[in-house]
Amino acid sequence: MNRTAPPLSLGDGFLWATGIEDTFIAEPHAVTGRTLDEYALTEHYERWEEDLRLIAELGVRAARYGIPWYRVNPRPGEFDWSWTDRVLETMVNVHRIEPIIDLVHYGTPLWMERSFLNPDYPRFVAEYARAFAEHYRGLCHWYTPLNEPRVNAWYAGRLGWWPPHGRSWRGFTDVMLQICRGICLTQAAIRDVVPDAVMVHVDATDLYVPLDAADSRVAGETRTRQELVFLALDLVLGRIDDRHRLHGWLARQGVRDEDLRWFREHAVTPDVIGYNMYPMFSRKVVRSTPRGGVRVGIRPCWTETLMELTRMYAARYSPIPVMITETACSGSMKRRIRWIEDSVEVVRQARAEGIPLVGYTFWPLYSLVTWAYRNGRAELGDYLLDMGLWDLRRTDKGLERVHTPAVDAYKRAVRASV
């Protein structure tokens, strides 16, 4: 497939973007029988033309866009691009929106036994990536191999909500290693097909703060948790050896030196490092418990945390450019608009400091369905979270996209640029 205009490059100026929540957990919940396909739940499969028009209305030049792996790859080695053909061709050639292809946004195809812990997962995901890149060579140019590896490993390996349902730090680490092997092989496969592809690695970020830094247990847990924020990036960049701060922790989870050596031998470097930050979730406090343990909780924050994390990523991964690849705020409309304005001001400040911050993504375009839907029993409407630019409201015509003042606030930011 071909495009009628050249792709964006990193030299084309600041990149304003948006995206549609696109979590794809195809396995039915053992009790409720529900799956979690955000495109299905928000009716994007049917209303994609309307949704692309909304993206274009914002004046942004790019959109992070997820591919439902379990649908396009229904059986091993078999691919069906019939739906994505129409969507991506319209996005690129009609609306002139550069898709940042999100190849894996949680979840694997149903045929893949044990999901990420299938021993052939890295090969399977690389085959899928190669097939996609070959089919869309000439149309798609920007890629994210896998969204939020740390959160993925947490839900699939530590919390047990998603396949393969691990419930330990060992499970977290096993899933993380497999995911990161897949990222390395995916980037290599895409570069074989599209040598000048722009690779955008994306993970969720957090800032961990000790409530009592004088407590050695609290201070130690804070350092470990902060290092775990960067684990996926450090793995795929081949940075972890016996001098790394997490080396001992990883060894206690069963990670062998030969596992780490594999990453150093297959290291890949992204063109952009993306981080996803939300003021409702991204500041974590670490405190001691009365029984001598340590507990981690969430402390709502504002843009001072976004600024600190931006500086942290830029310093740690210099000279690789960084990008805010997801951010938004829930709450009142006044609060949501204030977040847009204040977070964009952080962008200006960071760039004035010389930080190579190359883009900003407001996420999501419209309301999302919270992940609790899959293991809950309430009606769909009870799980809608309004934190997007458009709100979703159920009518006799389905889930209507309702314009809010946040749309206009983001348009102003895009027009003003930085």
pLDDT under 50 in the chain at which residues?
Answer: none
Look at residue 230 in the predicted model and tell me its pLDDT.
98
Look at residue 291 in the predicted model and tell me its pLDDT.
86
Q: Which of 160, 197, 185 is nearest to 235 (CA)?
A: 185
- Strands 390-395 and 398-403 turn out to be antiparallel
Q: Which of 110, 235, 204, 104 is nearest to 164 (CA)?
A: 110
DSSP state of 156: I
| H or E stretch at 276 | strand 272-276
Q: Each residue of 215-266: pLDDT tens digit? A: 999 999 999 999 999 999 999 999 999 999 999 999 999 999 999 999 999 9
Task: In whole angstroms, give the CA distance from residue 248 to residue 257.
Answer: 11
Look at residue 289 in the predicted model and tell me its pLDDT.
92
Task: In whole angstroms, give the CA distance from residue 189 to residue 129.
Answer: 7
Per DSSP, the chain holds a count of helices (H) and strands (E) of: 14, 17
Task: In whole angstroms, give the CA distance from residue 252 to residue 254.
Answer: 5
Look at residue 1 in the predicted model and tell me its pLDDT.
82
Look at residue 281 in the predicted model and tell me its pLDDT.
96
Give yes or no for a contact between 60 and 18, defined as CB atoms under 8 angstroms apart: yes
Q: Which of 69, 95, 99, 65 is nearest to 81 (CA)?
A: 69
Q: Each residue of 4-54: pLDDT tens digit? A: 999 999 999 999 999 999 999 999 999 999 999 999 999 999 999 999 999
- Domains of the chain, with CATH numbers? 18-203+269-278+304-416 (3.20.20.80)
0.85 cut: is pTM over it? Answer: yes
**Please, what is the average pLDDT of the chain?**
97
Look at residue 213 in the predicted model and tell me its pLDDT.
82
| H or E stretch at 98 | strand 98-102
Give yes or no for a contact between 295 and 289, defined as CB atoms under 8 angstroms apart: yes
